[in-house]
Structures are given as structure tokens and as C-alpha cells.
Amino acid sequence: MIKTGIDLVSIKRIENSIKNPRFLQRIFSKEENLLFLKKDFKAETIAANFAGKEAFSKALGTGFRGFSFNEVEILRDELGAPFIKLSGKAKELAKGYIMSISLTHTEIDAGAVVVMIKEGVKF
């Protein structure tokens, strides 16, 4: 089984949200906030991460029911490529799936696509 999720978010909307520090604490993990610090809290980076979380929830097919935003971390590897790290209920719900994520942004919007493939599926 293959599942996909996509999301697009206004960077301006996220710029307004990050004026409240509780937004960053409630939605993003400590590790994500460290990533944002390294990137000078650029709104496009934060917006892309937010879109990634939404795209994951859509690929899963549940929306944000049964788990919280900060159980879905959108991080970067040593080359800067994004990856998803799950914990808690989100990890349980996605058990048995391999995931891939792609992030993008313009000056106005940030977007993400998540593809989830059930382990063992052959093409």
C-alpha cells in the first residue's frame, strides 16, 4: 500500500504565528527548534516544517487525531535533506511504513509532500 500527503502553507501566516513563542514550543520539538536556531528562525524553514507535519498527517489518513504535532519531527540529514522522525503515538500509527518527504518554498508559500510505503511492498 502506498499513501501520499501534500500540504501548502502561507509563509506570512507562519511569520505571524512565530511571534508567539508558545507556537514554536507547542508545535515543534526541541530538536526542530535547534534547527530553526541554526537557520536564524527563517519563516520559510519553519513553514516548510509545518507543511511537512501536515502532509504526514494526510498521508497517514488520520489528520492530527491520536497524536500531537511535536511527535512528528521534520529534521535534516548531514547534507540538508529532510527526513521524518516519529515518537509516541505517531510512531505507533505509522508502524510498518517507510517514509519519504520533500519540502519546498517560494517567497510566499511553503509546501511538502510525504510518501508512505508499507514495508515489504514490491513494485
Predicted local distance difference test score (pLDDT) of residue 123: 72
Comparing CA positions, the residue from 61, 102, 66 lying closest to residue 84 is 102
- Inside any domain, residue 67: yes
- Measured N-to-C along each axis, helices 43-60 and 30-38 cross at an angle, to the nearest 10 degrees, of 140
- 105 noted as active-site residue: yes
Predicted local distance difference test score (pLDDT) of residue 35: 96
Query: How do strand 109-118 and strand 2-10 relate by DSSP bridges?
Result: antiparallel
Predicted local distance difference test score (pLDDT) of residue 121: 75
- Inside any domain, residue 22: yes
- Inside any domain, residue 34: yes
Q: What's this model's pTM, rounded to 2 decimal places? A: 0.94
Predicted local distance difference test score (pLDDT) of residue 109: 98
Predicted local distance difference test score (pLDDT) of residue 64: 86
Give pLDDT < 70 ranges for the chain: none
Predicted local distance difference test score (pLDDT) of residue 117: 95
Domain of residue 16: give its range: 2-118
- Inside any domain, residue 17: yes
CATH of the domain at 38: 3.90.470.20
- Inside any domain, residue 123: no
How many separate domains does the chain show? 1
Q: Which of 19, 95, 105, 118 is catalytic?
A: 105
Q: Which residue has the cell 515518537?
A: 87
Q: Which of 39, 42, 58, 91 is catalytic?
A: 58
pLDDT tens digits, one per residue of 95-111: 999 999 999 999 999 99
